[in-house]
Amino acid sequence: MKIARYTAYGGPETIRLEEAPVPVPGPGDVLVRVRAAPVTAGDVRMRSGLVPRGLGLMVRLAIGVLRPRVAPGWAFAGEVAAVGAGITRFAPGQRVFGLTGFKGGAHRDYLVIGEDGPILPLPDTLTFEAGAAFFFGGLTAAEFLIDRAKVRPGERVLVAGATGAVGGAAVQIARHLGARVAATASPANHALARRLGASEVSDYRDGPPAGPFEVIVDVMGQLGWQGARPLLAEGGRLVLITADLAAMLGSALRPRRDGRQMITGTNKDDLPSMLRLVGLHQEGAYTPVVGQVLPFADLAEAHRIAETFHKPGNLVVVMDQTSA
Ligand SMILES: NC(=O)c1ccc[n+]([C@@H]2O[C@H](COP(=O)([O-])OP(=O)(O)OC[C@H]3O[C@@H](n4cnc5c(N)ncnc54)[C@H](OP(=O)(O)O)[C@@H]3O)[C@@H](O)[C@H]2O)c1
């Protein structure tokens, strides 16, 4: 089978596709034939080591000082190829999706994952591509909007950067929570933003739309506290999805300022969070946007597209259907 590997921190050319034996599932393990996997902003950051200001040292201490010691690929959708001894919840042929998470390892033809790990049956309503795209932005948007910003019906929410993986999920989930959603996006993505549920759409290059907003989701951290503060209503919450070290420390030490709140951090990727997102999908509240789909052989090209931070929705690579 083919597996992807990072050889150094650097550009997409540091990715190698190598041959490896198909693993054998041990007791309690499931062997998944991967059909599709997303290439996310997280993958780009792991590969390049390029993270928001002040976080570089911390990231390198966590994933490797000289080169990324994580395997490429954060999530997957596919089907069960074989199961180890003692498996009761999954059977060969079953469609599944899940996370390899921080340690990675989804950018390969087959992977092994524990039955009790972050793997779930893939709903019939999702293709392999949509299953691959499902968790990355969705988990982030759900946690920040529902648990952290606690969006309420009737509130006005601005999603700045509304059509990528996180923004596309945030618009849908904010709408589901009963908010009126304003979105900023490049003109080419305005129709998509409206389709996802935004009632007002503008180009972020023209500046943010007029406030007040109860919640602002600043996907790329371009507004920051200074830019967002004048747009926030009394009691408003700024969600900085991309935050540098100073903003993270600031929001931890002084989350409430002038009757408003700044929220930063990272989202959980555990089974309860995954199950909640599946529930939101089943209620009709969230379906991931599948943007470009490329063959696994073009993984480096997929990284080139993802690292522009202008992709519509989620970028997915599909594994070779004839290689098994
Ligand atoms: N805190 C967390 O736990 C967490 C979790 C996931 C991701 N993230 C971070 O969130 C960010 C977005 O991830 P993603 O997967 O959604 O990326 P993505 O799919 O590449 O989407 C990026 C979005 O940002 C917009 N954008 C680009 N430049 C902008 C600018 N100058 N002003 C306003 N909007 C701009 C793009 O709009 P157009 O395409 O219309 O130009 C697009 O909608 C990344 O920095 C990622 O590392 C954080």
Pocket probe for ligand 1: among 194, 195, 241, the residue whose CB has the most ligand atoms within 8 Å is 241
For range 187-212, the mean pLDDT: 98
Q: Rounded to an integer, what distance in angstroms lies between the CA atom of residue 74 and that of residue 54?
A: 23
Q: Which residues line ligand 1 (CB under 6 A)?
A: 40-41, 45, 137, 140, 160-167, 184-186, 189, 204, 219-220, 222, 241-242, 266-267, 309-311
Q: Where does the pLDDT of residue 182 fall: very low under 50, low under 70, confident under 90, or very high at 90 and above?
A: very high
Task: Find the 167 Cα to ligand 1 centroid distance in Å.
Answer: 7
Flag whether pLDDT at 324 surpasses 80.
Answer: no
Distances (CA, A) of 261 to 208, 234, 236, 264, 315: 19, 10, 6, 10, 32
Flag whether pLDDT at 216 surpasses 70.
Answer: yes
Flag whether pLDDT at 320 surpasses 90.
Answer: no
pLDDT at position 322, please?
A: 55
Task: Find the 22 Cα to ligand 1 centroid distance in Å.
Answer: 35
pLDDT at position 152, please?
A: 98
| pLDDT tens digit sequence for 60-102 | 999 999 999 999 999 999 999 999 999 999 999 999 999 998 8
pLDDT at position 23, please?
A: 97
| Percent of the chain predicted with pLDDT > 90 | 97
pTM higher than 0.75 for the full model? yes
Residue ranges of domains in the chain, CATH in brackets: 2-134+289-318 (3.90.180.10), 136-263 (3.40.50.720)
**H helices present in the chain, as ranges:** 41-48, 56-63, 128-133, 135-142, 165-176, 190-196, 224-228, 245-253, 271-282, 299-306
Mean of per-residue pLDDT scores for the chain: 96
List the residue whose alpha carbon is closest to atom 20 of ligand 1. 309
DSSP letter for 284, please: T
Q: In what order do the strands lie in the sheet with 232-240?
A: 200-202, 180-184, 156-160, 213-218, 232-240, 260-263, 256-257
